[in-house]
A and B are shown apart, each in its own frame.
Chain A
Amino acid sequence: MALPSERSASVDALVIGAGPAGLASATRLKRLGLARVVVIDRELEAGGIPRHCGHSPFGMREFGRVLTGPAYARRLTDAARRAGVELMLGNTVVAIDTGKPLVATCTSSEGIVRIAAKRIILATGVREMPRAARLVSGDRPIGVLNTGALQAYAYLQHLAPFRRPVIVGTELVSLSSLLTCRKIGARPVAMIEERSGPTTRRLFMGLPRLLGVPVLYGTRITDIRGMHRVEAVTLSGADGKRQDIECDGVLFTGRFTPDAPLARAAGLDIDSRTGGPTIDQFARTSEPRIFAAGNVLHPVETAGWSWREAVRVADFVAADLGGWLPSPENAITLTPGDGVRYVVPQRIVRGPGGLPHIQLRATGDVSGALVACSKGQRLRTQPMTSGPERRILAPLAAFRQADSDITFSFDNRRSTASRSDATCV
């Protein structure tokens, strides 16, 4: 690979992030005939988060078979290489200049490289919310970490950060952390959840039962103790009851948040609900030459979902280079209302094509209907029952003709037939 020895380079598309979304979009762009497509990643190995998810299932959507995360990451990487994608690993993008042309400044051990790109795709992914940002009380000893770090201990370094952790959260990733704990020989002493029921589907909660890990709902962690390493935590129930549990670690799982400092630094408009850049239905950010794909847009989706979405985003980038995308001007905005945590894309423009779905998340359990309103009128009522952290989709086609801003909210009453439009205002 010639790039790092060049002090500057010029490419058709620069993809930032070599996870499932980044690799998928780059591979697709090469197959569509772009001459020079570069994927840059700050890690020394491509593949992103799946590299350290030793568990299945990955790859059903992409390769039609069940793979572990590392095997899946290798296949995505091999596919990109075979398609002619240039991988710049161990390279960190430190700035994006949105002048003409777009220029990304990258650093590696070999020095600084400036890459002029016709288009950029941000695929920087997500991470979990750490203990500090959750404002959890107590000492700050060693042994408090997120699932991503635990996986890296287990699958990349073959080390154990603890033996008897308390696991905080009941998202899908929380369950995967149980498997990772098993892998390193750790026996979680409890899994706790602030809500009165699991965040993920109740069905999946058979796993902690199977592994003999007690699950405590309506429970918060209110103190962490330990001078050097975690020694104990205090758990507080909704009823005000407290109990001290001895443990040697605390694992904070889930509460994903996009890793978007680069998007912020580039001056892109950021959605405070997702924490990632805002986009239109063609995945164009507020700087229309910069696109975004994957979990940087929507915490959090599966690798397979991000992969498929990124393939589509590659199509939009290619169409844009051909001059075939509609103008990004005069977009209408999509905003979350009652019961809706976020809506992606955040705006739509007039014109055919684009992502087929609007993706939403509920703030909690919902049972009733997803209602889309514009100018006081109900555009669409979609009956549904859902919960937090579940994929909720609305067909984009239903809103193509809208000519003013749309608010999505949940109407928790079951009878949705012909109610007043008062809730729509």
Chain B
Amino acid sequence: MSIADVAIVGAGVVGCAMARRFALEGAKVVLLERGADLLSGASKANSAILHTGFDAPPGSVELSCMQAGYAEYQAIRESFNLPLLETGAMVVAWSDAEKAALDGIEAQARANGIHDVRRLTASEIRAREPQLSHRALEALLVPGEHVIDPWSPFLAYLLQAKSHGAEIRFATEVISGGFDGDIWTLQTSTGEQRARTVINCAGLFGDRLDARLLGTASFQIRPRKGQFVVFDKAAAALLRTIVLPVPSERTKGVVLTRTAFGNLLVGPTAEEQQDRERATVVDDTLRGLIARAVEMIPALADAGVTAVYAGLRPATEEKHYRISAHPDRNWITVGGIRSTGMTASLGIAQHIYKLYEEMGHRHVPVAAPATPRVPNLAEHEPRDWQSAGYGEIVCHCEMVTLREIEQALSGPLAPGNFGGLRRRTRCGMGRCQGFYCNARLAQLTAGHFASPLAVGDAA
């Protein structure tokens, strides 16, 4: 069996960006993911905001990774056909206490190098966002905060990594492993894998992987659940700018934002739990989120709910990223990457590659990187249905074409489950939630997934 330079464990936002970075630097990469598809764990649910880092801890690794990630995304996104919905964000003070906190947030933003922030008075807020509740007292405008498609970038990164030789193994769980002073031999659920260096990007299971293979974990994952409500597309006209709350120590708080897909999103909650697999939605909590959204935008009272979801963030007992290198064991742990991970992922990958080089490894970077273009899913850029020859529209709510679905199913990184197909195309994610298209999708995806939509033929 061939020996990889690096085995990356986990195909979440961090693992996918990592695989791309190492492949571009010329390393022979293998990516091991226990789920049936990329973004199967913590990464499948987030608020899809590309953050500037204005409120990150000054001088932190998190801040530098966010800013590097932000810059790299902006630099590469067009070559991959990745969208950017330029919204800006407002940290809105709804009470006098919150108003008093804006000075500190503004000072921190400036200290973090975000110099285009500015204060908005109540009437300026109203002029900018006429549907926002008039209870908004004052805000800090952060023009650089934007919305992206939270899934397609990572598909693009993996496609690029794959085109430079990375091997991607889904449904492959690392069970145990041994290090002989030079090479790691990993036992996985689909066989043995050897690699010189292991990079732990295992998200919600990062501490367990460290404990299992290194013998000790330097941190403990404390899963934090976030629930979200997606409002109907008609509601997207009610807001332009992302509305951020004045953050608390524990969480960035409940955000109200447009999505790249033309909806309006409210969430997440921040709920500690033990379970690392199940992220359930809870009716009363969802109602609470809707009530919170209606407080902010009263017209949302009449808006339909399109979807609800929940995800787990891999929080730890401390707030900061838990990155550690173990040069004597050829091992790097990238743990505790919470809410800011999607923004920071490309920056984290740069940071980790530097650590890896400091451990004495060298490769010859790819001279001419391939840039595979991914299908655009964002509503403000041309969609597939706008070019002829698409066959038919399969999902009417999200206007997903047969051509898109067939390409996703036959592509070089075909989805391993229905969730993966949804994230690649948006099929079934609209207001009818499959009333019109689910059966057709069952027929189109027959034979593709380990967990198929249909349990069998009609008797």
Contacts and interface: CB of A to CB of B under 8 A. Distances in A.
Interface of A: 42, 44, 90, 92, 94, 107, 109-112, 127-128, 130-133, 135-140, 142, 145-146, 148-150, 152-154, 156-163, 183-186, 222-223, 227-229, 248, 257, 259, 261, 264-265, 272
A142 B451 contact: yes
Contact of A132 (B280, B308, B418, B438): B308
A259 B436 CA distance: 11
Q: Which 6 A-B pairs give the minimum distances between C-beta atoms?
A: A185-B459, A152-B439, A130-B433, A159-B454, A184-B458, A228-B451
B287 A44 contact: no
Contact of B392 (A44, A153, A183): A44
Contacts of A259: 432
Contacts, number: 145
A44 B458 CA distance: 23
A46 to B, nearest CB: 14
A90 B392 contact: yes
Nearest to A52: B439
Contact of A159 (B287, B386, B443): B443
A110 B440 CA distance: 21
A115 to B, nearest CB: 17
B399 to A, nearest CB: 7
15 contacts: A90-B392, A109-B392, A127-B435, A131-B433, A133-B304, A133-B305, A138-B280, A138-B281, A146-B435, A148-B435, A148-B436, A149-B435, A156-B440, A223-B280, A229-B451
Contacts of B215: none
B442 to A, nearest CB: 5
Contacts of A160: 454-459
Interface in B386-417: 386, 388-393, 396-397, 399, 417
A162 B287 CA distance: 29
Contact of B280 (A130, A131, A139): A139
A107 B396 CA distance: 12
Nearest to B289: A135
A421 to B, nearest CB: 31
Contacts of A154: 458
Given A142-B451, A154-B458, A133 B306 contact: yes
In the complex, which range does the number of interface residues on chain B fall in?
Answer: 35 or more
B435 A130 contact: yes
A136 B305 CA distance: 12
Given A133-B431, A135-B308, 17 more contacts: A92-B393, A92-B396, A128-B435, A132-B305, A135-B283, A135-B305, A138-B281, A145-B438, A146-B433, A146-B435, A150-B439, A152-B436, A153-B454, A153-B458, A163-B456, A228-B450, A228-B451
B309 interface: yes
A161 B455 contact: yes
A109 B456 contact: no
